[in-house]
A and B are shown apart, each in its own frame.
Chain A
Amino acid sequence: MLSYALRRLGSAIPTLFIIITVAFFMMRLAPGGPFDREKQLPPEIEANILKAYNLDKPIHLQYLDYMKNILRGDFGPSYKYLDFTVNDLILTGFPVSMRLGLYAITIAIVIGVTAGTIAALKQNSLFDYLVMGVAMTGIAIPNFVMAPLLALVFGVYLSILPVAGWGGGAFKYQILPVITLALPQVAYIARLTRGSMVEIMNSNFIRTARAKGLSEKIVVVRHALRGGLLPVVSYLGPATAAVITGSVVIESIFDVPGIGRYFVNGALNRDYPVVMGVVIFYAILIIVLNLIVDLVYGFFDPRVKVE
């Protein structure tokens, strides 16, 4: 298993190289530059700034410099947050995003899998319709509607939770962002679980298990869930990556100091090093999480041999 994992990580290096190269040049193809703004800079001052950031060199030299720097682990300075390097921004922001994301994904797995399983076992019952109805609503309501709504109800009207802010990471500041992050995931996982459990519960090996006289509990937990969770497991790789890297909407509305907003705002600000840093970071994260999912697959599905 270890050699499989190492081999997979090794094969990720060319992938990363291509991602970095494509992202680097695509970013530069976007019209407008980091220092274009309403109050245009006098040409001589713009020249000073471009020189300070090495942006006055030909693009291929900039690319080579950039590659040299990232090999040393230096993602460069930010053009927007002048007092921080990209490394600073990712290192301070990622723990926050990861904490919120892990809470959210844990809640999503526990509630989603439980609700989905019960709905599948009680197919076409009132409970089933209720869970699926709520799940559909959860998927349909975008987070930019849910977040202000929760803030308004719990922060302004009921005054039991802060509207926004981080408060040094105190528990009460995390509740609303985690709920907003978790809700669509709960809904999605519940639907995935239900769908695959309905199919599994009608399959031959479940009939065999029942025929052997096993209790329903053992049939469901030991036999059905292992197969029924496979789609959820494959979904969890990219979903975890998406959730722990934060969300620009949730971070902007709840003022959470995560890294979610750097990607979108970095692109809008043409803050090249920030965008590149975040792209590389996301790419590595997705590669690692997909590998973990594949390893976990081997546990759930005996047909998969991780070698």
Chain B
Amino acid sequence: MNSRIKTPVSRTIAVLALFCACFFMFTTVAVAGGTLRVATMGEPASLDPHKVSGTWENYVVGDMFIGLTTENQKSEPVPGVATSWKISDDGMKYTFMLRKSVWSDGTPFTAHDFVFSMRRILLPETAAEYASLLYIIKGAEAINTGKAKPETLAVKAIDDYTLEIQLTGPAPYFLALLTHYTAYPVPKHVIEKHGKLWSKPENMVVNGPYKLVEWIPNTHVKLTKNDKWWDSGSLSLDDLTFYTQEDRAAVQKRFRAGEIDVAMDFASDQIDWLRKNMPDETRIAPYMGVYYYPINSSVEPFTDVRVRQALSMAINRKAIVDKVLKTGELAAYSFVPPGVAYYDNPAEVTWKDMPFGERQKKAKALLAEAGFSPDKPLEFTLRYNTSENHKRIAVAVVSMWKAIGVKAELFNSEVKVHYADLKQGDFQVARAGWIADYNDAQNFLYLLETRTGPNNYGRYSNPEYDKLMLEAEVTSDLQKRSELMLKAESLAMRDQPVIPIYHYVSKNLVSTKVQGFVDNPQDIHRWRYVSLK
């Protein structure tokens, strides 16, 4: 049989066929439509944006509502309902120009909706957990604490499409903060009609790209395209299904079986298997958070800075991230993670580059100066909330401390008890973590201010630190503000009221079918940018 192609016509057809075959084999075409299935790793407490407080809820409500600004794929602030804005010279007055848009029931959306929403989240009876994030708005704190009427809030509708907001100080992070769910608009006309039941699927009205269809507690939340959204033509996905299962091992199996397209988080102990078997689906990226051990600097002997320094120096962070965690976390020598907006490079401890052996010697010397010796060793309890990962890290840290003659006992308790005790200051050294609410160093550094209260677990109180942070708060010059915060951070890194251990990474499983999922330091993903191929 002669298999050679002889005629020019048949040759042309063959070439075309080959080309088509290659095209279909090697190009991947995004197909409009389809349902994206996301495992959020947590049941939403609510779908009312004023009542939520977790990342797992943010993945759902973030595509139902859009604030004045919103996030792009990299989670940077871009215009949302506001198309443009003007900022006063002192950085304390923002004037937003809004687009003409409608709610999902067709009701026109106006600046008055924002006025209503911002007053609502601040009303004490709304009992919003995250309301304090908006305290930067003039009058907010007084309303939330019941000292002022909601009408006193400095958020004003100049006309239907112009909104003015006055701040208590220049906050360069304000546009980023407005992407947060606490600043989302909620429909006044629906809330007034249905009260608390407004967020039920049959009542809920949204202003974002997807609207609620179904919510079965402890199973899933389903959203579908909102055709009335201003840019609905740009949406690729028709529907979104969020599975709320928390069991990471089970979710990983569902992902392997193709029942889930994106899993937000996986169990760290699976990393070796995942790297080997699903390298393209395993996504690890720097995440804006710090894992640290606060030291209770209000109790003896931790009032002595030398003791705190010694404990911090003796921890081999590299061994913890490389040998214990193995998921690419960054060893932390500063409180603020690298890569935070308007903050050059975080202030690190001065002994970061000292070889570990020398650091141990120095730590021993510091303890000796503070009056501890092999006959009279430093003894205390290290507390952590029950979790396999926290335990592994605590065991490693305690053995590192043992090497400098410190006797630390481990004590674990369930999460509610742990944090109740931390709040009361009932601990010596404990485990804690912090994930930023918005991309700004202030969101980390305020934790060490005296006025912060319960979130300053270790009761660190340094007037100089407080003064620098207060000064930064009223400074509108970005460079100067950053310098002030750097100075404050370097004070804290000298005093070590907290022992930073590592900076978090985000860990997600993303199917290769999913396009438009971009890793970013806040691990916020808006599904309106995503498509399936």
Residues of A within 8 A of B (CB): 31-45, 48-49, 51-53, 80-84, 88-89, 92-93, 148, 151-152, 155-156, 159, 162-166, 251-258, 261, 268-270
| Pairwise interchain contact A148-B253, C-beta atoms closer than 8 A | yes
Selected A-B contacts with CB under 8 Å, 10 pairs:
A38-B419, A41-B129, A44-B144, A45-B144, A48-B127, A80-B45, A81-B43, A83-B44, A164-B245, A253-B247
Instruction: Choose the segment among B160-168, B216-224, B304-312 that binds chain A (4+ C-beta atoms closer than 8 Å).
Output: B216-224
| Pairwise interchain contact A164-B253, C-beta atoms closer than 8 A | yes
| Pairwise interchain contact B125-A89, C-beta atoms closer than 8 A | no
Which one of B43, B126, B218, B259 has the highest number of Cβ atoms from chain A below 10 Å of its Cβ?
A: B218
Q: Assess A155 versus B257: contact at CB under 8 Å? Given A48-B124, A82-B48, A92-B216.
A: yes
| Pairwise interchain contact B256-A83, C-beta atoms closer than 8 A | no
A155 to B131, CA, bound (A): 44
| Pairwise interchain contact A81-B243, C-beta atoms closer than 8 A | no
Instruction: Say yes or no for B46: interface residue by CB 8 A criterion.
Output: yes
- What's the A-B contact tally at a CB cutoff of 8 Å? 154
Q: Assess A252 versus B455: contact at CB under 8 Å? Given A37-B415, A80-B45.
A: no
Q: Assess A37 versus B419: contact at CB under 8 Å? Given A43-B454, A83-B199, A151-B253.
A: yes
Instruction: Say yes or no for B47: interface residue by CB 8 A criterion.
Output: yes
User: In chain A, what residue has the closest Cβ to B251?
Assistant: A164
Which B214-252 residues have a C-beta within 8 angstroms of A? 215-220, 243, 245-247, 249-251
| Pairwise interchain contact A51-B453, C-beta atoms closer than 8 A | no
Query: Chain B residues near A166 (CB, 8 Å)?
Result: 216, 219-220
Q: Looking at chain A's contact residues, is the secondary structure mostly helix, strand, loop, or mixed?
A: loop
| Pairwise interchain contact A40-B253, C-beta atoms closer than 8 A | no
Q: Looking at chain B's contact residues, is the secondary structure mostly helix, strand, loop, or mixed?
A: mixed
Selected from B126, B216, B416, the residue in CB contact (under 8 A) with A270 is B416
Min CB gap B177→A, angstroms: 16
Residues of B within 8 A of A (CB): 43-48, 51, 53, 124-129, 131-132, 144-146, 199-200, 215-220, 243, 245-247, 249-251, 253-254, 256-257, 259, 414-423, 432-434, 453-455
| Pairwise interchain contact B419-A49, C-beta atoms closer than 8 A | no
Query: Chain A residues near B245 (CB, 8 Å)?
Result: 164, 252, 255
Min CB gap A146→B, angstroms: 13
| Pairwise interchain contact B420-A36, C-beta atoms closer than 8 A | yes
Which one of A32, A151, A253, A258 has the highest number of Cβ atoms from chain B below 10 Å of its Cβ?
A: A32
A13 to B254, CA, bound (A): 46
Query: Chain A residues near B146 (CB, 8 Å)?
Result: 48
Selected from A31, A49, A80, A155, the residue in CB contact (under 8 A) with B420 is A31
Min CB gap B87→A, angstroms: 27
Min CB gap A172→B, angstroms: 12
Min CB gap B41→A, angstroms: 12
Query: Chain A residues near B128 (CB, 8 Å)?
Result: 45, 48
| Pairwise interchain contact B433-A32, C-beta atoms closer than 8 A | no
A38 to B220, CA, bound (A): 26
A31 to B424, CA, bound (A): 12
A152 to B273, CA, bound (A): 15
A42 to B423, CA, bound (A): 11
Min CB gap B251→A, angstroms: 8
A249 to B434, CA, bound (A): 29
A83 to B422, CA, bound (A): 29
Query: Chain B residues near A268 (CB, 8 Å)?
Result: 414-416
A249 to B515, CA, bound (A): 34
A35 to B53, CA, bound (A): 12
